[in-house]
Structure formats: C-alpha cells, structure tokens
Amino acid sequence: MEHVINLFKDYTFQTVALGSGILGLISGILGTFAVLKKQSLLGDGVSHAALPGVVMAFLLTGAKDTEILLLGALTSGLLATLFILNIVKHTRIKFDSALALVMSVFFGLGLVLLTYVQKIPNSNQAGLKRFIFGQASTLLQKDVYFMTVCGAILLLLVILFWKEFKLFIFDAEYAKSLLFPTHRLNLLLSFMIVMGIIIGLQTVGVILMSAMLIAPAVAARQWTNRLWVMVMLSAFFGAVSGISGTAASSLSDKLPTGPAIVVVVSCIVIFSVLFAPGRGMLQKLIHRKNMKLLLKNKGGGADVSST
C-alpha cells in the first residue's frame, strides 16, 4: 500500500499517468465513431503510415521537436487515409485490402527513408525509432500540455458536430438526402481520428495505438445502446486503463507502459463481453438455459417430431 501512496506523489508518475489518461480519454471518444463506422482498423493503418512523415519531417527540418515530427506524422497519416478512401471509391477493392496495402507500402517507404537518414553523417536520428515504437515513460509535461490542447480541440469538434456525426454514422444515406455534406463529414471525422492516433503515437507506439482506439469503444458498446452513454463510457474506460496501466508498469519491474495499458484495456473488453447486462455472453447463456427449461416444462415433449 505504501508503494502505491508513494507512487502517486511521484512527479514523473503524475506526468505520465496524466498523459496516458488523457490519451485514453481522447482515443476512447474518437474510437467510438471509428468502431461504429466499421473502420476500427483505420487506427492501425494510419499509425503505420505515419512513419514516413516522421522521418521526412526530420529530414527536412533536422529538428526533433515533438510538434514538428507530429506534423509530419499527421500529414502522411492523412495522405494514407485519402489514398485508402479513393481506392475504395473508384475500384472494387474492399476497405480492408486497400488499408493493408497502403499501410504496408507507407511503412516500407518509412523504412527506406530511415535507412537513408542513418547514412547521413552527423545526423542524430536516435529518437526517431522511439517515437515510432512509443515510450510513455519519456513523456514530459510539455507533451501533456500539447495533448491536452489537441484533446480539447477534438472534443470541441465532437460537441459541435454531434448531431451531424450521429446522423452520418447511423444512416449516411438519410443524411445525404437531407443535403448534409456527407463526403466532407467523412473527411472531417477521418481527420479527427487520424489526429487522435498521432497524438497517441509516442505514448503507446504504432502497434498498440489501434487497441487504444478500438478496445474502449467495443467495451462501452456492450453496456449501452445510446450514443452519448457509449462515448462517455468509452472515454472513461480509456482513461482508467491509461492510468492503471501506467501504475502497473511503475509498480512492477521491467514492465513496459504501452503493452501494460493494452492488457488492462483488453481485460475490460473481455469482462464486458462476458458480463455486460443484456448483451453479454453470461446473460445469453442464462437466457438460453431458461428457454430450454421453459420448453421442457410447457412446450411438451417429444411429440413434436412424431407429428
């Protein structure tokens, strides 16, 4: 217990936990829309596609400031998203194939650029890989401020376009017939999701970011049928797993933060899928058993087959 109390007084821990918590909150909210739009894996794709942007930003400016690298990541993430959307729009290739292709090609380009950078003398590119694979423990207070500002902007956008997003997600055709600019709404939403992913990159890394986007939303989906409750719950699950993952990693020796967060959030998903009232597996099993009993007691016996 004393460990835990000491931990919460620790300044580094406060920073990292706050950062992870905010990240969980943002990705929880945005993830709700990604999951409902059946584009959950966009997060995975975009976070891979960010690599060439990061290296390119470093190549062009020589700087390793978080903001500049993030700007590069954002650009190439958006570019990849545009490619994917256009391939799907103009050919018969399905979303998942387009995603897999664009993602791996962008990542390959990133690798090419990375090996190119390594050959330039005097370039100190040591931080780049860390940026891609994520290292929550290196979060600084500056980064947390940055995340908070971006998060606030994204949150504001969600509130502003709440009605439009809701309509667009559940009935895009209807939205179109009401003359909502569905194409632009789709772009805006994708842009926001990409931005959320990019913010999270340096905390949990490329691969684990997709879990942060999907898992809280999937867990929240099991408990409710209302959009605003789902968004709230998802944000809550995201924040809780961010903070408790950080705590677990600080308390245990050699436990990396990003994976710890993912394990926590996956546990929440498993719990929700099993025990959520109404939809959960347990409820379904009980319901099935009751139906069987009912059938046995009231529905008669084997005479069904004999007629």
Partner 1 sequence: MSPQLEILLIAITVAVACSLPGAFLVLRKMSMMSDSITHTILLGIVLAFFLTHDLSSPFLIAGAALIGLATVWLTETLNRTKLLSEDAAIGIVFPLLFSIAIILIAKYAGSVHLDTDSVLLGELAFAPFNRLIIFGYDIGAKAIYSTMALLLINLVFLIIFFKELKVVTFDPILAAVLGFSPTLLHYSLMFLVSMTTVGAFEAVGSVLVVAFMIGPPVTAYLLTDDLKHMLLLSALIGMVNAILGYYLAVVFDVSISGSMSVMTGLVFFLVFIIAPHRGLISSLRRRSRQKLEFGKKTLLFHLYNHTVTENEKQDTSPHALTAHFHWDKALADKIIGILLKEENIFIEDEVVKITEKGQKQSKMDYESLFAE
Q: Which residues bind partner 1 (CB under 8 A)?
A: 35, 38-41, 43-44, 48, 86-87, 90-94, 96-116, 119, 129, 133, 207-208, 210-211, 213-215, 217-218, 221-222, 253-256, 258-260, 262-263, 266, 269, 273, 279-281
Q: At what angle do helices 126-133 and 42-61 cross, to 10 degrees?
A: 160
Nearer to partner 1, 111 or 156 (CB): 111
Instruction: For the CB of residue 132, give the shortest distance to partner 1 in the complex, in Å.
Output: 10
3-state secondary structure of 190: helix
Q: How far is the CB of 177 from partner 1 (least distance, A)?
A: 15
Query: Is 69 or 262 the residue whose CB approaches partner 1 more closely?
Result: 262
What minimum distance in Å lies between the beta carbon of 19 and partner 1? 18
Buried b / exposed e along 205-225 (16+ C-beta atoms within 10 A): bbbbbbbbbbbbbbbbbbbbe
| Contact between residue 131 and residue 69 where contact means Cβ atoms under 8 Å apart | yes
**Angstrom distance (rounded) from CA 27 to CA 218:** 12
CB within 8 Å of 92: residues ≥ 6 apart: none
Nearest residue (CB) to partner 1, 112 versus 156: 112
Q: Which residue has the tokens 């791996």?
A: 104
In this complex, which beta carbon is closest to partner 1, that of residue 144 or of residue 249?
249
Closest contact distance (angstroms) between CB of 306 and partner 1 is 29
Smallest separation (angstroms) from partner 1 to the CB of 258: 7
Q: Which of 9/89 has CB closer to partner 1?
A: 89
Question: Please, where are the H alpha helices in 205-254?
Answer: 206-223, 227-251
**C-alpha atoms less than 13 angstroms from C-alpha of 212 in its C-beta half-sphere:** 37
Q: Are 57 and 189 a contacting pair, CB within 8 Å?
A: no
CA-to-CA distance for 198 and 126, rounded, in angstroms?
20
Tell the smallest beta-carbon distance from residue 95 to partner 1 (Å): 8
Is the Cβ of residue 15 or residue 47 nearer to partner 1 in the bound state?
47
